[in-house]
Each structure stands twice: as structure tokens, then as C-alpha cells.
Amino acid sequence: MIVAGFGFRESATLASLESALQAANEDARRVVALATLESKAEQLAPLAQKLALPLLRVSPDLLARQSVQTRSAKAHAIHGTGSVAEAAALAAAGPAARLVSPRFISADRLAACALAASTRDESHPA
């Protein structure tokens, strides 16, 4: 299963989120769920609805426990991780997940998306 994880600014639009997903998923992998930090889930809901995909909410403590490739000092200071997008994807895909697409940023630089894969049939409860 492939989970798309998102991190974004409050000013990100639906177009921002779509742009980030498109950049991360150039190979058109079959994404089965979207994930983000609990506090940002409401803003990602319109994209989940548009794509008819479940929206997985990741707790801050689970997010901070993920090992990510990207090292953003600002994200680390605010959220305890170098990439909210990568950490959300990994956390939601479950304990055996691996990053298949590191963080890609939307054209307007307001959103980021990363993809994680797991062999599990169900997503890990985030």
C-alpha cells in the first residue's frame, strides 16, 4: 500500500496540495490514503474527498518518532521532525513502512508531499 503524507502551511490551497502530490507521485503509484498531522487534517480533507481516499490523522508524538530523509530545521523546531510530509507518510503506512518518494514541494512552495509504502493491507492507526 502507498500512503501520501503531507505537510503544508496554513495558506496552502487545494491546488497547492494537488501540486505537491503530483510532484511526489510522477510514477502514478496507486495511493490508497492521505495522511497529515492531526492538527492539519481539516485542511487536507477537501483533497481526500476529491480523490475519494481515506484521511489518516497522525499524532504529534508518532510523527516525531519517524526517521526521515529531509532535515528542515524549521519543521524540526515546530514539529520535532525534519519533514512532516515524510513522517506522516511513514507513520500512517505502519511500522514496516519505507519511504518511496521523499518530500516534494508544490509549485507555490506552500505544501509538501512524500510517499511511503508498506506491505500491510491496512494502514497503521495513526
pLDDT at residue 123, rounded to an integer: 40
pLDDT at 77: 62
Give me the phi and psi of 102, to 5 degrees please.
-65, 180
Give yes or no for a contact between 3 and 32, defined as CB atoms under 8 angstroms apart. Answer: yes
Q: Average pLDDT of the chain?
A: 86
Q: Is 6 in contact with 103 (CB distance < 8 Å)?
A: no
- Residue 122's pLDDT is what? 45
Overall average pLDDT of the 87-112 stretch: 92
Find where cell 510517499 sits: 115
Q: What is the pLDDT of residue 106?
A: 96
Q: What was the pLDDT predicted at 120?
A: 58
Among 33-37, 39-43, 60-64, 114-118, the range scoring the smallest mean pLDDT is 60-64
Confidence (pTM): 0.85
State percent of the chain over pLDDT 90: 60
Closest residue by Cα to residue 29 from 123, 116, 126 = 116
Using the predicted structure, report yes or no on whether residue 121 has a pLDDT greater than 60.
Answer: no
pLDDT of res. 126: 43
Q: What is the mean pLDDT of residues 50-77?
A: 81
